[in-house]
Structure 1
């Protein structure tokens, strides 16, 4: 295991010390014109212990990407982690962590009320057969039920060893 600093922020995160679920600021960058870009790590599953089903990840990505923009016009992107444990949310010119938590909460509530996965057809999606509304709702419901834990990133903070 290398201690060398990596170019990718999440590769420098000790995944053995985090405690999912959580929402953390993963990166902040200022563009040459002064725009602030903030990337959040939304971790739904405990790294290297559990992961989300790929169809649920895919559907949750579609649902969140569509619904979150009803609550925040500063969202740039919402995309899944390849490890299937979470997502990255990128926003521009907005740096209010508590508000982001509220936006995520409202979005998860929207997902629980959804009756379809947006753009889950061959015209709008590159793998339209790979969706599960029920799976996405299960993941969203579990994440939402642990809302009071989202601000605790590390197991040590939570008293977990």
Structure 2
């Protein structure tokens, strides 16, 4: 039997049946021609192929993490939800301190718990303003934070 050829997308090479969510793992590093380095992290909230997050909650948590994370670091490039609805990708520039990433995520999710509204939740600032859930976002944040001591354990 021949070995499977590696795919171009890093997460497609990850055996999703072997991971144990929630976790935060380094998913890739890209070096730019001018010396900048982008680190991409997999913030996995739910167990792949067993659970998923609801879209309104994902959307609201995306808005909240995108806004609040920048209060804790000027290295944030982007936070993007995964199409499989199990987590997010966090990209940072010129910052390779994994423990600091964990702290940024923890502080950001803690901010979510005390939020009273979803930032930019209106038709002027959002492309689908009707699809939001503050309470759903808070539930996702609370669940992720409740497993804070497991975030470094990717595989079961």
Q: Could you say which residue in structure 1 is the equivalent of 2:131? A: 130
TM-score (norm 1): 0.94
Q: Residue 116 of structure 1: CA displacement?
A: 0.2
CA distance in structure 1 between the aligned counterparts of 2:130 and 2:42, rounded to whole angstroms: 27
Q: Could you say which residue in structure 2 is the equivalent of 1:106? A: 107
CA distance in structure 2 between the aligned counterparts of 1:151 and 1:52, rounded to whole angstroms: 21
Q: Could you say which residue in structure 2 is the equivalent of 1:27? A: 28
Mapping for residues 141-152 of structure 1, pairs under 5 Å: 141-152=142-153
The SS at the match of 1:124 is coil
Q: Could you say which residue in structure 2 is the equivalent of 1:158? A: none
Q: Residue 4 of structure 1: CA displacement?
A: 1.9
CA distance in structure 2 between the aligned counterparts of 1:86 and 1:103, rounded to whole angstroms: 16
The SS at the match of 2:15 is coil
Write the deviation string for residues 92-139 of structure 1: whole angstroms up to 9, x where unpaired. Answer: 000000000001000000000000000010000000000000000000
CA distance in structure 1 between the aligned counterparts of 2:81 and 2:5, rounded to whole angstroms: 25
Q: Residue 3 of structure 1: CA displacement?
A: 1.8
Q: Residue 29 of structure 1: CA displacement?
A: 1.2
Moved over 6 A (4+): none
Q: Residue 81 of structure 1: CA displacement?
A: 0.1
Query: Which ranges of structure 1 fall in alignment gaps of 5 or more residues?
Result: 156-161
CA distance in structure 2 between the aligned counterparts of 1:138 and 1:59, rounded to whole angstroms: 11
- Root mean square deviation, CA, Å: 0.8
Query: Which ranges of structure 2 fall in alignment gaps of 5 or more residues?
Result: none
Q: Could you say which residue in structure 2 is the equivalent of 1:67? A: 68
State the number of aligned residues: 154
Write the deviation string for residues 48-105 of structure 1: whole angstroms up to 9, x where unpaired. Answer: 0000011000000000000000000000000000000000000000000000000100
